[in-house]
Structure 1
Amino acid sequence: MSQTAELHDAHDHRHAGHQHHDEPHTTISLNRTAFWATLHCLTGCAVGEVLGMFIGTALGFSNMATIGLAVVLAFGFGYAFTMLPLLRAGLGLRRAARLALLADTASIAVMEMVDNLVMLAVPGAMDAPVSSPLFWAALAFALLVAAGAAFPLNRWLIARGKGHAAVHDHHHHHHHQIPDA
């Protein structure tokens, strides 16, 4: 039985008022899956965010232009990091792109919104040069806060068979032939 199916089974039993015998395992598994999905999104966001903030700050872009560049790059790297294993598993480009959009859009959007709000809220962070410890400390703090905000969203989506649940099913079943739609 797939992890998503197990989660749905436990979810259905809880709502039916039954105690499922391995519900604690399912909760741990759900938390673990959500943690890894969040870490995965954080990695793509961090690469894009760091590059965008670094480039924008180094070139003297306005705060809004720097944030815009960072957001575009964060989405780009986030989607790319999801698509690469799917492409390696044999999915076609269109299907891999569609799954990446479904899996990552909500999580990246939350991360980017929170991350950039935190960067704007830390006094001097957006105006600090890239050589400044303030810049890097604020960016690291902002990314951690963003991951904390995205975790419950990822957990909620995965528990409902959405978000990274679809991608994980493909990663776990890549040895089967997956038709490209």
Structure 2
Amino acid sequence: MSDTHVHPSGRISVPWSTAAQATLHCLTGCAIGEVLGMVIGTALGLSTWATVALAVALAFLFGYALTMRGVLRAGVGFRQAVRVALAADTLSIAVMEIVDNAVMVSVPGAMEAGVTSVVFWGALAFALLVAFVVTLPVNRWMIGRGRGHAVVHAYHGH
């Protein structure tokens, strides 16, 4: 966060590029879990809501795991790494998953299309893009208040 500026109110002005990096990190974990959940759910013929539940659970799992990986490498114990991941990622992943899945289920036929369909993959890519755009200002707001990925940066020497 080298280009940050502190306002007299104590708020930190966070560059959009910093927020974009945090959001991309979140998107990576979410996308891994989301894609895996959607592929497994549709391949097994699960209902739309069972598939969404699986995708959301895996998105949180992979999102937290990616954050914990870096924090653990910094020498932090497992329990503290879990706390850091929860503090850093919960709101960001939640927003991303709400938006992503709302878009996915609103695209006609996307959930029923199957993993070999362009409709399925196109809808999923579009849903993840929309989720990134919506989550970006959320992450910027959190980092500016010392929350979200600002918590993780403390463990990376930033």
* Residue in structure 1 matched with residue 7 of structure 2 by the alignment: 11
* 1:32-43 correspondence runs (5 A): 32-43=17-28
Larger of the two Rg values belongs to structure = 1
Give me the TM-score of the superposition, normalised by structure 2.
Answer: 0.94
* Residue in structure 1 matched with residue 143 of structure 2 by the alignment: 158
Q: The residue matched to 1:123 in structure 2 has which SS?
A: coil
* Residue in structure 2 matched with residue 54 of structure 1 by the alignment: 39
| Contact 1:30-1:158 within 8 A present in 2 as well | no
Counterpart among 98, 104, 119 of residue 134 in structure 1 = 119
Deviation, 1:11, is 2.2
Give me the TM-score of the superposition, normalised by structure 1.
Answer: 0.82
1:167 aligns with 2:152: yes
Counterpart among 71, 86, 111 of residue 56 in structure 2 = 71
Distance 2:130 2:75 in 1: 35
Distance 2:7 2:51 in 1: 42
1:70-94 CA distances to partner (integer Å, 9 max, x unpaired)? 0000000000000001101100001
| Contact 1:83-1:96 within 8 A present in 2 as well | yes
* Residue in structure 2 matched with residue 104 of structure 1 by the alignment: 89
Deviation, 1:10, is 1.8
Distance 1:59 1:155 in 2: 38
* Residue in structure 2 matched with residue 45 of structure 1 by the alignment: 30
**Structure 1 residues not aligned, in runs of 5+:** 17-25, 174-181
1:30-66 CA distances to partner (integer Å, 9 max, x unpaired)? 3221110000000000000000000000000000000
| Contact 1:34-1:155 within 8 A present in 2 as well | yes
1:130-155 CA distances to partner (integer Å, 9 max, x unpaired)? 00010000000000000111100000
Runs of 4+ in 1 over 4 A off after TM superposition: none
Once superposed, what is the RMSD of the aligned Cα atoms?
Answer: 1.8
Between Structure 1 and Structure 2, which shows a larger proportion of helix residues? 1
Q: The residue matched to 1:131 in structure 2 has which SS?
A: coil
